[in-house]
Structure 1
Amino acid sequence: MNQNRVQRLQRAEDGDPFSFLGPHAQGDETLVRAWLPGADAVDLLSSDGSPLGRMHCSDPDGLFELPLPQAQRYCLRIHWPSGVQETEDPYAFGPLLGDTDLYLFAEGNHRQLWRCLGAAPVEHEGVAGVRFAVWAPNARRVSVVGNFNSWDGRRHPMRLRYPAGVWELFIPRLQPGECYKYEILGPHGVLPLRADPMAQATEMPPATASKVPQGEAFAWQDQQWMSEREQRHAPQAPLAIYELHAGSWQWQDDRTPDWDELAERLIPYVQDLGFTHIELMPIMEHPFGGSWGYQPLSMFAPTARLGSPQRFAAFVDRCHRAGIGVILDWVPGHFPNDAHGLAEFDGTALYEYAHPFEGFHPDWNTCIYNLGRTEVHGFMLASALYWLREYHVDGLRVDAVASMLYRDYSREAGQWIPNRHGGRENLEAIEFLQHLNEVVRSEVPGALVIAEESTAWPGVSRPVQQGGLGFSHKWNMGWMNDSLSYIQQDPLYRLHHHHQITFGLHYAFSERFILPISHDEVVHGKRSLLGRMPGDRWQQFANLRLFLALMWSHPGKKLLFMGCEFGQWREWNHDQQLDWYLLQYPEHAAAQALLRELNRLYREEPALHRLDDQDSGFQWLIGDDARNSVFAWLRKGGEGSAPLLVVHNFTPQVLDGYRIGVPHAGRWQVLLNTDERRWSGSGAGTQGELHSEQTAAHGQSDSLNLQLPPLGALILRPAH
């Protein structure tokens, strides 16, 4: 029997090492076996360090044995060719994971999965070391490998916890910071070394190993922010988001900054511009930088490119103490097929669907998570909760929701598999998204979960109890497409595209919308936001100012990608920092200053944010003047707040004597004129204060006689 087991250990095929290695009763004695290929000799020591005897090398391949008169705690003193090592025997310890953990994992509802799977420094049975646990139900054997065992899969085979399919092992005296992977013997042979799906830290790419995380908890100092967060995230509160790619926002000494350096520069900048939140493009570890993080493999590990997990926590803490929220882009729909990753993790389609019509994404050449499998459902649910709880993140923007909702997304006829009802909806993904939003709502009150959803799926931000998906907000992709298409038109032809501005207000209150001008709109030949604007240089900047005023005065929360705020000319490139030198030129500095002013008005004027998702907060005054390309509306903030009159002139002509009805007689004050000289405008258009006249217009008994600035916007408020 010994020879057969030794051969299996030598070939790294033994899937049940605890039944043979470690201490075992043998008659009146306890026989200790250790499998240490490559060792010259092994001494057995008592727990106090006194010698118990040299173990007998019963097989030259590396099996050492020694009988003890009675069961007792012991250590191994291993004589390697390179030196001597003292450690407890990993195979002398009992099971690690409790039955409740395994049950909840199998059920897909373990809310703190990162506390039982993955690697963690622990004290087990009175000994400090690292606990490893990984899900690989179809593996024949799983070993932990790393520098600590010369990446030798024979050295540390793991224990299988049946029926959960989780393999576990405690390696005593191992320290945080150790690199490791899993060597897996699948149904058809040994697989490439796998990174840990539950890793909380990783090597710096292009290296791909996982790292044992630090054991100590971060000392948070953001208690005030956390206590106020639910109120800050209420639907009636202002929400202005600055989206950025952390690695290319602003470099430090011609290199990507770390989290500390980014905080030093970014936080004052965002505070100065008046944004309420930042949104980071995915910072979960990803093998290919050119994916911008949207093909992540480590759903529990902040990228090592910017520093340690502790430094990321410190970054979030500093943002909160400065009054800035942090939203992360999060990708639960698909993952890349890199050899060290999740694809056929244990030799079978484990995390992904097995059939390519379900499990392969044709747009991105990636694998699609099988969210109908309870363990995968729970894995992704735990990932979301991990960022919200462990890093105090304020919200998740869920990427590519449309690709999750539809089984035929980007697929030709005959290349997709209908659901059990014969339809195109992905019922498993729908159930996951609803469960995710319900769990976040109950367990992390005040956290945002935002859908990047590009179709007309109904009820994305409607509560689950009312048949919706339960998101707190949805990106308004229709507004984004229509408004960008409109602003790109030569003003001469805008009269033929008038509906592209009016149409979005037919459905503006059907969801809780965020108006996004994101990174996707300034790459891949689409040109920068400023670069899309028609006309000469003056007109391009005027159109940019007008577009920003349109966005900030339109119902819906705001999101703007970095560089748009000061008018970067070139498209965004993740391998370069933004063109900050442009701020030396007056037009660029003025665009940035205008954005600062828009954010101030947005925050301070309840009419611009309080009733964003209610039609009672909006009233058309002029929506049919296509000939002049003029739009005018009222924004209302409800009881106790003044209404605002918003007027946009999308032609390069000054329009004199333009009469607009208003709901209040008396003095009106111009809060904003985007054509003022301080914004590098021409100085045209009404400014200061003016009095209404008792001339009925647009259903109102009084009206204002305005001069509309060219390619400009006015925002006015009653002066009393």
Structure 2
Amino acid sequence: MTLAMSPTVKKRVAKTYRVNFTFHPDALPMGDLNLFGSWNDHGDFSPEWHGSGTPMKRSAEGTFQATLDLIAEPGQTFFWGVKDLHGEWMLFENEAASFIPSLDQSPYFRLGHRTWLGLHHQGQNGLRTAVWAPNAEEVSLEILSPQALRIPLTRRGQFWQGESSQGWDESLGHPYRFRIITSDGQEIFRADPYARVRQGPQRGISDLFLSPQGDYRHRYSVEKTGKHHLRFEAVPPRGEKLTTPPTLRFFRGESPLSAAQLRERLPREQKLPSGETWWHHNLQDDGSIVLEHNSSANAYSIAIGPEEKLRGLSYRIEDHKGRTYHDRWSNLLDGHHNWARFGVVSEYRRTQLTPVLSPRESLTLYELHLGSLLGQGGNLRTSTFPQVGDILSRIKKLGFNTICLMPTNATEGFRDWGYLGTASMAHQEAFAEPGSDAEKDLIEFIERAHKLGLRVLTDVVYNHV
């Protein structure tokens, strides 16, 4: 008779871990605080938060600290929060920070992460940075400037932080990114979610989703037999008319593609909605493509595709004055043209905006989408903050006392209602005037509204990015 042997179950052994907690209140005045978490008074894990609380000591730097011995199995996740002596949560229980004692023995929470995370100017010419990367093995900040500055970051709980006494002035206006070595050894690059300026979708390109019959479709409702093309665009400054249409050229490396190479690579015919022009009709002998004029928007565009056939090429759009309309950061077509990409080193604009209405005064809201309110040519030319600011007095005369903006954050592509965000802290650069930036123009828009006695509210979407 053969006896079946039961598999041996390896018992997970609980261990005691000394954990150092730090709570940073930023500039907010705080009285005494107590630490609470998912453990009991003996340090054993307890999902019911049975502990009576541990007083936290205030450090010379203004942080609050406490040290506990917690008993946990390897991999056990704990949660923690902070209350004041009146029982009010400072670090809320329902938004509690988590940590694993066997991996993270210095949990850290800063109340104003917005003023800590990201990239900030420090001192005369220095900078500091921090990012949340709980599972990373190594993190560094890379600034893609001529100086190619790289700053190694050190772990602090689930966060990584670093600083440099030099480099801010030389880095202004240049893109930056975080280089991360993952727990399995992969090297990846990530944008800063707290960047106030992002490179944004590639200028001069928008998606063109079509049905088999050549009708417009939303990106998420294109049939399997539908097509994803691109529209290349040039929008001259407001009020300026070009005597000669801009031209589009494609390159492989530094070599321009010829007309014969384009014909071999791309379909020559495609059903299109009224008002769109297919590239082959405007193809020149030298391989350049003349953009078609849209008189209602005083803008130029051409449809070309499918999108996947253009990957690996770069593009350039120029007018007869030598001005370019392609993206200043990257003109490589890699399938990610509609995303807000890496952050851009920029000063934080601090401004004091005075409330214009009493908190008790009722609101009469005028909701608007910044880009389409005064858009032209099917929003081929989107409206901008200064342009909408010019009509605020008309909105005021209609009896409204509050402007309610639909989201103005960076989104997938330049034309979106604002709810497919790719960066919560950066604004849609398509809403800025040429030569300006969206954050500056938004601040000036709000100041113009306040001078007219208008309050400004904005819709935001944080959980889509």
State the TM-score bracket (shorter-chain normalisation): 0.3 to 0.5
User: Which has the larger share of helix?
Assistant: 1
TM-score normalised by the chain length of structure 2: 0.43
Q: Give the structure with the higher percent strand.
A: 2
Please identify the structure whose Cα radius of gyration is greater. Answer: 1
Q: Choose between structure 1 and 2 for higher RCO, CA contacts under 8 A separated by at least 6 residues.
A: 2
TM-score by length of 1: 0.28
